[in-house]
């Protein structure tokens, strides 16, 4: 047992009961998020506060964390709404307030993706732009579980029933596989298939020709900025020895695609 602010001792069993009741109430209050996902969120939040000095506050902290996850999720897109429009609303809810610079970058990436989408089929373009809006949501604190934003974002989307292809594009964007190997997360990333085609290339292109502030930059300038900002020991920089050529090839293929359709890169 642990002393509360008043000096009284709160049994762990009472905290456990409060959290079970909280989870049941959260499930009853909404129908957008499956009960199992709510349970996972509760357990994840509970693990974050496992070492709290005052157990009295743990149920309150868990509730705040889970409600933040609820707020981050826009209502699922209707049959008449483009997936990309739903993705934009969801990304804005997750990133705009907590991570405004990341949100500026995301808007720039989505703008680039919209340009490429014009030379793809409507269906492929919708998937591309949706993935662009969602590609960096894993940086948000509410979604950060593994500390690997591609995988954290993809798993969050999968939990919410987002199309598996979009989840996989988010999971593997920007040469994630090489970084995952360095971080010991290769098997987890392999949960998602890495498609190789114009949509995947275009997502990488959009991300790697957009600065952290959402400005258009060349691929070379973006890589130089990344190296300078992260430093030589960062896994993302170290992984460039493995995925640098693949990144460059994706950019080159997308630029060629745009050139064939007379669209400036």
User: What is the DSSP annotation of the chain?
Assistant: -EE-TTS-EE-HHHHHHHHHHHHHHHHHH-SSS-HHHHHHHHHHHHHHTTT-S-GGGHHHHHHHHHHHHHHHSPPPPPTTS-HHHHHHHHHHHHHTTT-HHHHHHHHHHHHHHHHHHTTS-HHHHHHHHHHHHHTTGGGSTTT-SSS-HHHHHHHHHHHTT--HHHHHHHHHTTTHHHHHHHHT-HHHHTTS----SHHHHHHHHHHHTB-TTS-B--HHHHHHHHHHHH-TTSHHHHTHHHHHHHHHHHHHHHHHHHHHTT---
Record the pTM.
Answer: 0.77
Q: What is the pLDDT of residue 173?
A: 98
pLDDT confidence tier of residue 2, bands split at 50, 70 and 90: very low
Q: Where are the domains of the chain?
A: 2-72, 83-260
pLDDT confidence tier of residue 9, bands split at 50, 70 and 90: low
pLDDT tens per residue, range 146-194: 999 999 999 989 988 899 999 999 999 999 999 999 999 999 999 999 9
Task: Tell which wins on pLDDT, 248 or 73.
Answer: 248
Q: Which of 85, 98, 179 is nearest to 132 (CA)?
A: 85
Is 83-260 assigned to CATH 2.30.29? no
Q: What are the residues facing 9 on neighbouring strands? A: 3
- In the numeric block, which tokens belong to residue 94? 């997750």
pLDDT confidence tier of residue 252, bands split at 50, 70 and 90: very high
pLDDT tens per residue, range 13-55: 888 999 999 999 998 987 767 787 788 889 988 888 877 777 7
**Residue 125 to residue 129: CA distance in whole angstroms:** 6
Task: Tell which wins on pLDDT, 230 or 81.
Answer: 230
- In the numeric block, which tokens belong to residue 180? 């995952």
Q: Residue 108 pLDDT > 50, yes or no?
A: yes
Task: Tell which wins on pLDDT, 33 or 210.
Answer: 210
């Amino acid at each position: 047992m642990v002393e509360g602010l008043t000096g009284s001792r709160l049994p762990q069993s009472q905290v456990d009961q409060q959290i079970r009741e909280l989870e049941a109430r959260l499930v009853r209050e909404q129908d957008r998020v499956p009960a199992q996902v709510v349970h996972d969120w509760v357990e994840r939040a509970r693990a974050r506060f496992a070492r709290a000095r005052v157990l009295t506050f743990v149920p309150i902290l868990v509730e705040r964390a889970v409600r933040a996850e609820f707020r981050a999720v826009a209502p699922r897109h209707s049959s008449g709404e483009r997936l990309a429009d739903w993705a934009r609303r969801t990304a804005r809810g997750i990133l705009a307030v907590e991570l405004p610079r990341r949100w500026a970058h995301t808007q720039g990436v989505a703008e680039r993706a919209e340009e490429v989408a014009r030379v793809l089929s409507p269906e492929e373009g919708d998937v591309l732009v949706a993935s662009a809006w969602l590609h960096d949501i894993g940086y948000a604190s509410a979604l950060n579980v593994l500390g690997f934003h591609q995988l954290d974002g993809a798993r969050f989307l999968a939990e919410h029933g987002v199309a598996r292809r979009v989840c996989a594009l988010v999971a593997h964007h920007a040469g994630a596989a090489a970084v995952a190997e360095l971080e010991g997360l290769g098997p987890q990333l392999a949960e998602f298939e890495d498609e190789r085609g114009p949509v995947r290339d275009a997502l990488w292109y959009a991300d790697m020709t957009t600065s952290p502030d959402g400005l258009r930059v060349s691929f070379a300038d973006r890589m130089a900025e990344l190296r300078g900002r992260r430093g030589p020991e960062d896994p993302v920089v170290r992984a460039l020895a493995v995925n640098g050529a693949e990144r460059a090839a994706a950019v080159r293929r997308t630029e060629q695609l745009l050139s064939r359709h007379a669209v400036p890169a």
